Chain A
Amino acid sequence: MDRRNFLKILGITSSTAMLSSCGVDKANEKIIPYVIPPDEEVYPGKPLYVSTTCTECPANCGLQVKVNEKLYHEQRSLYPTKLEGIPNHPINRGGLCARGQAGLFRLYHPERIKRPMVRDEQGNWLIITWSEVVTRIQDELQKTRRLGKINTYLSNHTNGTISQLKNQFCQEYGFERLPDFELFSHANIKKANQLVFNKQVIPQYRIAKTDFLLSLGADILETFVSPVEHTYHFSIAKKNQHFRWYHLEPHVSLTGVQADHRIVIYPESEIIFLSYLIQTLFRESHQKRNLPFKLLRSIPTYSLEETAQQTGIYQQDLQKLVGELSKAENPLIISGGISTAHAYGLEVAVLTALLQWILGITSEVVNFINARNYENIGTFLDINNLLHRLDQNEIGVFFLSKCDPAGQLPVDWQFLEKLKKASFSIGLADCLNATVRACNMILPLSHTLESWGDAQPFDGLHSIFQPAIEPQYDSKTEGDILLSLLNNNSEFSLYYKDYLFNNLKSRFGETNTSKLLQNGFIRTAVPESELSINLNQVYQFLKNFRIPQVKRTELLVFAPSIRGYDGRSTDLVLLNEIPDPLTTISYGAWLSVSEETATRMSLKDGDEVEVRIADERTKLPVKKQKLLPENVNLVQYGVVRLLSGSYDKRSGELFWFIKDIILSKTGNHVKLPVLSGSMDENGRGILPHVNEHAHEKEGKPWYPEHEHENYRWGMAIDLESCIGCNACSAACYVENNIPIVGRKEHLLGREMSWIRIQPYVQDNESIEFVPMMCQHCDNAPCEPVCPVYAAYHNPEGLNVQVYNRCVGTRYCANNCPYKARRFNWFDHRLPEPLDKMYNPDISIRDRGIMEKCTFCIQRIRAAKDKAKDDNRLVQEGEVIPACAQTCPTKAITFGNLEDKNSKAYKLAHSEQAYRALEELGTKPAVNYLGKKREHYEA
């Protein structure tokens, strides 16, 4: 029995254990110096910041990696411990989404591929060296030449230098470089823009600049093209009093509930709606640009009633919409996502483009010049083509780099089987996935945080990848692999760095390159070009215009989720720990059904149903979801794989919903980890407008105000701009070493998140999100009940929890009206090597200890330390908690409430500020800014 346990038993058997106060650490430990200290000035208390680029989705946000020096397994070394957005980055402006925050979980993923492997005849994996890799590939290539097969190279969205290198490589070895593989290729939008404007690109949507946003299906705040950017823009747009946002969708999405007017439209009927809009605008001559008569005539005309009847939109809504649209200065219409991912998606996209055109398109709102970098992303036409060729045994050596078609393509496309037909498939990936598992050879790629590289998120913006940590395994970057193949030599690595630098220097010159390395990005000028419409093409397209037969059937919708994206992020445990904002389900797959369906089939949450589609079938537990229209059943990409996929033969857009599905109860019941106890706020005084009559309860608390010296830390959270994206929660997890507890604990209701997003459904039409964390009350109910002073109030207005003083009575948690306190039921530890990401500035709590939000006290401490060095007080903006830092909409403002000029103070004393559960007299330091009235009149 080791000393610790000994004392533990002792503690209960005899009071003499009082002799010992510390029984918790290992008996004796080592301190390991460096052999050679690192060149960077980095030591405990001074982390290093490396600017690089996020690769969790094609948006490529700017990243700032916090690197700490710490001792890990008796190795003193540098480890990335936190990801943050680059403050002034043109895409994410310092913000970062939950997926971005979870990037570290990929870097330290237990399933990282550690060394190159190849299959032998029996199909067992053999570990080989890189030189063997090179030779092996070489002679595979020999073979295929003899066989006369074509070698192909498939990779995910790539651009920048590496793209050039690939092309070079493909030329040298006679590879055919296939268009990049992205599940969400937005093919219809590209196609439509090509039809209408001769530009096969996805433009930048400048939401900030518009005063009227009409979005059809595009989940702009979640996954659509560049969510974080859109979210930021959205928060700016909100500041404009006249900004209006109509969102039309056949299902319910996080984006939808943010719109001022969320309008449910029958699937596939957007086209009717759009034609109605165009025609009406012309009839009422609100158009800014004219169209030739014959073209106009080729667009079908619908009466108000018809439209309403066909689309399921209320007439008054339509009229209101038209009214506001025609009044708008420079409106912006975005159709995408689910509205373009169906049989009439292309028409929708084209009409959208047309509508945008006649409403006067400007590069202010729709920017084709700095177009998104989607040109070499392929469509499902290409995929289908590839599959076909695989079937024909035409493919020889097959490189699959950083992409997981096997995991993402519809089940009934049998990619795996077909992949086997390639004579030699080589998977390049950082983590194991379905595809690489099926390959003949696996080459471990270094994670982007371990490697050099560059990217081009959109035309005119270049950002860099810099290594923030030595490669942890025997892995290489794609560039290095290609180069070593080119030079037929694997010995010396970091070829690619030089290659990259030459390339960058040649492209941008010395100074810009160094700027690029310093800031993480640079902007370059892009030639302006006048946007012109190709009337004839449009006419040709519209001539044989197909009017959809909208018939309502039981529908299965596959929507991408803010947590899973196209499924690539679902194996990051953090993103499973954090609940889905709308249903608050954390782990596992589920099928969201409408209230109507639930009552019709008498389903309770967790009842299992069988979903039958032609011959494909799967079983899923259901969750009743408010606001979900009848007949629409929702599942998320990633958590559930697309069962049967059909696509648009013209554009190659994948269809997101499957018609005529059959649901049948299996009778089984699956416990769903639903974290929310109730979606109904019950007038508890947590939401703003409910709160107003809370003030009636007069009478004042007894105790005198306690004075604060210099600081009183406080927060203002703008519910106006909070979109419930959970980025704050993710950031908090990583920053504060919050334990990840898993499904079993969640089922018991033991989640550990310090900040959580509470969704509340308002009279069945809107959902409002309230980020809830420790409110750091002045009269905190949790403090006086603690017998050992573990919870107390410090002079700076923080409600402090002294972890190693806590004996775990849990009274504080019971007595906290916000239930913001979390108890460590077990010793939860991240498994190796994930534990490399622990933040050394804050403790890892043992079992039996209560923990909670500390306003990131470690950051406050650091700032005060710094301030003290040049003896002054901490200034505004010096301390930014992780949540506030990462919030894409900057909804959270942190500051010193003692300082009258601080932003936080001003907001806290603005007329729309209120405190949650104010009537309990707890005097929270967190102030919520209520939504403005007119949003409720709508």
Chain B
Amino acid sequence: MKNQYRFDEKHQFLEKLENLIKDGVSSKKIITYTPYPVHEVEHILKVKASPLRFFTLIGALAGLLFGFLFTIWASLDWPIIRGGKPIVALPAFIIIAFELTVLFGGVISFIGYLLLSRLPDFSKIQNPEEYGNQFVIQIQDGETR
């Protein structure tokens, strides 16, 4: 059976949290619910930085690479002279590559986000958990995360 603490004010909530950690409650057992992001929590619970950045990085690089390779390959696939410009005109392709970097980077990090934070959570879509504007601390028996 998990036990829950609800607070109306942020600072109370934070104090409690710190106390819990002092009392040696493993941070892994604690789940907090807040109406808005509270960065202090991360410091208190010593959570590692989100691995999301790797998704972003990979996405961006993939986009960049694909951008260049695709444009170059497509122009060489059927080389057509236009305006005497070189067939592989990198100055022009940079733009495409850049746009694709952003596109891939953005989309993949979004997907990454959904994966990491296990969303969409259909069971919760069915019957959502609501905590209003309260700050909530839950302590699981078993280890979560």
**Complex contact flag A–B (Cβ < 8 Å):** yes
At the interface, yes or no: B84 with Cβ under 8 Å from chain A? yes
Residues of B within 8 Å of A923, CB to CB, are 84
- Binary contact track B79-102/A, C-beta < 8 Å → 1, others 0: 011111110000000000000000
Q: Shortest CB–CB separation between residue A706 and chain B, in angstroms? A: 6
Those of B38-87 within 8 Å (CB) of chain A: 80-86
A703–B80 CB distance below 8 A: no
- How far, in whole Å, are A781 and B84 apart by their CA atoms in the complex? 9
B86 & A780 in contact (Cβ 8 Å cutoff): no
Stretch at the interface among A500-508, A784-792, A899-907: A784-792
Q: In the complex, how many angstroms separate the beta carbon of A669 from the nearest chain B beta carbon? A: 43
- Name B83's contact: one of A704, A793, A794, A795 (CB within 8 Å): A793
Give chain B residues whose Cβ lies under 8 Å from the Cβ of A793: 80-84
Q: Are A791 and B85 in contact (CB under 8 A)?
A: no
Docked-complex contact A789 and B80, CB < 8 angstroms:
yes
A768 within 8 A of B: no
For residue B81, which residues in chain A have a CB less than 8 angstroms away from its CB?
A: 706, 783, 792-795
B83–A780 CB distance below 8 A: yes
A785 to chain B, nearest CB (A): 8
Residue of B nearest to A780 (CB): B83
A840 CA to B82 CA in the complex, in Å?
Answer: 29
A701 to B84, CA, bound (A): 10
Q: Per-residue CB proximity of A560-579 to B under 8 Å, as 1/0?
A: 00000000000000000000
Q: Is A311 at the interface (CB under 8 A from chain B)?
A: no
**In whole angstroms, what is the CA distance A793 to B87 when docked?**
12
Q: Chain A: which residue is nearest B80 at the CB level?
A: A792
Are A704 and B82 in contact, CB atoms less than 8 angstroms apart?
Answer: no
A409-445: CB near B (< 8 Å → 1, else 0) gives 0000000000000000000000000000000000000
A379 within 8 A of B: no
> A residues within 8 A CB of B85?
703, 779, 784
**Chain B residues with CB under 8 A of A704:** 84, 86
Residue tally, chain A, CB below 8 Å to B: 21
Residues of B within 8 A of A701 (CB): 84
Question: Does residue A778 face the partner (Cβ distance < 8 Å to B)?
Answer: yes
Provide the residues of chain B in CB contact with A789, threshold 8 Å.
Answer: 80, 82
B82 touches A784 (CB 8 A): yes
- Determine the distance from Cα of A778 to Cα of B85 in the docked complex, in whole angstroms: 10
Query: Are B80 and A784 interface neighbours, CB within 8 A?
Result: no
Report the bound CA distance from A794 to B82 in whole Å.
Answer: 9
Contact status A778-B82, CB under 8 Å: no
Interface flags for A779-812 (1: CB within 8 Å of B; 0: not) read 1111110100101111100000000000000000
Bound CA span A781–B82, Å: 8
* Chain A neighbourhood of B82, CB < 8 A: 780, 783-784, 786, 789, 791-793
Cα distance A509–B83 in the bound complex, in angstroms: 61
Residues in B neighbouring A782, C-beta threshold 8 A: 83
Closest B residue to A797 by beta carbon equals B81
Residue in A705, A778, A793 with the greatest tally of chain B CB atoms within 10 Å? A793
- Report the separation of the CA atoms of residues A778 and B84 in the bound assembly, to the nearest whole angstrom: 6
Of all chain A residues, which has the CB nearest B89? A784
Asked if A706 contacts B84 (CB within 8 A), the reply is yes
Shortest distance from the beta carbon of A858 to any chain B beta carbon, whole Å: 21
Min distance, Cβ A821 to any Cβ of chain B, angstroms: 14
- The A380-394 residues at the B interface (CB cut-off 8 A) are none
Q: When the two chains form the complex, which single residue of A703, A791, A795 contacts B84, counting CB atoms closer than 8 Å?
A: A703
On chain B, the residues within 8 Å of A781 by CB distance are: 83
Chain B residues, Cβ within 8 Å of A777: 83
- By a CB distance below 8 angstroms, the chain B residues around A706 are 81, 84
State A649–B82 Cα separation when bound (angstroms).
68
Which residues of the other chain, A, contact B80 by a CB distance below 8 angstroms?
789, 792-793
Least CB distance from B70 to A in Å reads 16
Distance (whole angstroms) from the CB of B77 to the closest CB of chain A: 12
Q: B84's closest neighbor in chain A, by CB?
A: A779
Residue of B nearest to A793 (CB): B81
Q: How far is the CA of A779 from the CA of B81 in the complex (A)?
A: 10
Min CB–CB distance B71 → chain A (angstroms): 13
Give bound CA distance, A791 to B85, whole Å: 13
> CA separation between A783 and B82, bound complex, in Å?
5
Q: Which of B80, B83, B86 has the most CB of A within 10 A?
A: B83
With both beta carbons as reference points, the residue of chain A lying nearest to B81 in the complex is identified as A793
Contacts of A792 in B (CB 8 A): 80-82
Q: Which residues of A contact B83 (CB under 8 A)?
A: 703, 777, 779-784, 793
Q: Mark A877-914, 1 if CB is under 8 A from B, else 0.
A: 00000000000000000000000000000000000000
Which of B81, B82, B84, B86 has the most chain A CB atoms inside 10 A of its CB? B84
A700 CB to nearest B CB, Å: 12
In the bound assembly, the distance between CA atoms of A703 and B84 in angstroms comes to 6
Which of A120-144 touch B at CB < 8 Å?
A: none
- In whole angstroms, what is the CA distance A784 to B80 when docked? 10
A792 to B82, CA, bound (A): 5
Docked complex Cα distance between A784 and B82 (Å): 5
Measured CB to CB, the nearest residue on chain A to B82 is A783
Chain A 693-713 interface residues, beta-carbon cutoff 8 Å to B: 701, 703-706
Complex CA gap A782/B86 in Å reads 15
Alpha-carbon distance A780/B81, docked complex (angstroms): 10
- Smallest beta-carbon distance B122→chain A, Å: 29
Query: With a CB–CB cut-off of 8 A, which chain B residues contact A780?
Result: 82-84
Complex CA distance for A387 and B117, rounded to whole angstroms = 105
In chain A, residues 333-392, which have Cβ atoms closer than 8 Å to a Cβ of chain B?
none
How many Å lie between the Cα of A779 and that of B80 in the bound state?
A: 13
Q: How far is the CA of A805 from the CA of B84 in the complex (A)?
A: 20
Q: Smallest distance from the beta carbon of A780 to chain B beta carbons, Å?
A: 5
What residues of A have a CB within 8 angstroms of the CB of B86 in the complex?
703-704
Q: What separation, in Å, do the CA atoms of A704 and B83 have in the docked complex? A: 11
How far apart sit A195 and B91, CA to CA, in the bound complex (Å)?
A: 81
Cα-based distance from A427 to B42 in the complex (angstroms): 105
In the assembled complex, the Cα of A537 lies from the Cα of B84 at a distance in Å of 73
Q: Which of chain A's residues has its CB closest to B78's CB?
A: A789
From residue A882, how far is it (CB to closest CB) to chain B in Å?
26
Closest A residue to B87 using CB positions = A706
Interchain nearest-CB distance for A850 vs B (Å)? 15
Report the bound CA distance from A786 to B83 in whole Å: 10
User: Interface code A718-760, partner B: CB below 8 Å = 1, 0 otherwise?
Assistant: 0000000000000000000000000000000000000000000
* Closest-CB distance, A921 to chain B (whole angstroms): 9
Instruction: Give the complex CA separation of A778 and B81 in angstroms.
Output: 10
Q: Which residue of B lies closest to A701 (CB)?
A: B84
A795 vs B80: C-alpha distance in the bound complex, in angstroms?
9
Interface string of A511-547 (1 = CB under 8 A from B): 0000000000000000000000000000000000000
Q: Which residues of A contact B84 (CB under 8 A)?
A: 701, 703-706, 778-780, 793, 923
Question: Taking the nearest CB of chain B, how far is it from the CB of A98, in angstroms?
Answer: 34
Task: Report the Cα distance A784→B89, complex, angstroms.
Answer: 11
* Bound Cα distance A793, B80 (Å): 7
A712 to chain B, nearest CB (A): 12
Q: With the chains together, A928 CA to B84 CA distance in Å?
A: 22
In Å, the complex CA distance between A779 and B83 comes to 4
A794 to B83, CA, bound (A): 11
Shortest Cβ distance from B80 into chain A, in angstroms?
Answer: 5
Q: How far is the CA of A782 from the CA of B83 in the complex (A)?
A: 7
**A792 to B: closest C-beta gap in Å:** 5
Determine the chain B residues whose CB is within 8 A of the CB of A778 once the complex forms: 84
Give Cα A48–Cα B80 distance, bound, in whole angstroms: 37
Could you tell me the distance in whole angstroms from the C-beta of B46 to the nearest C-beta in chain A? 49
What is the distance, in angstroms, from B1's C-beta to the closest C-beta of chain A?
A: 54
Residues of chain B at the chain A interface (Cβ within 8 Å): 80-86
- Give 20 CB contacts A-B under 8 Å: A701-B84, A703-B84, A703-B85, A704-B86, A706-B81, A777-B83, A780-B82, A781-B83, A782-B83, A783-B82, A783-B83, A784-B82, A784-B83, A789-B82, A792-B80, A792-B81, A793-B82, A793-B83, A793-B84, A794-B81
Q: Which 3 A-B pairs have the closest CB atoms?
A: A783-B82, A779-B84, A784-B83
Given contacts A786-B82, A793-B84, 7 further A-B contacts (CB under 8 A): A703-B84, A704-B84, A780-B84, A783-B82, A784-B85, A793-B82, A794-B81
List A residues at the B interface (Cβ < 8 Å).
Answer: 701, 703-706, 777-784, 786, 789, 791-795, 923
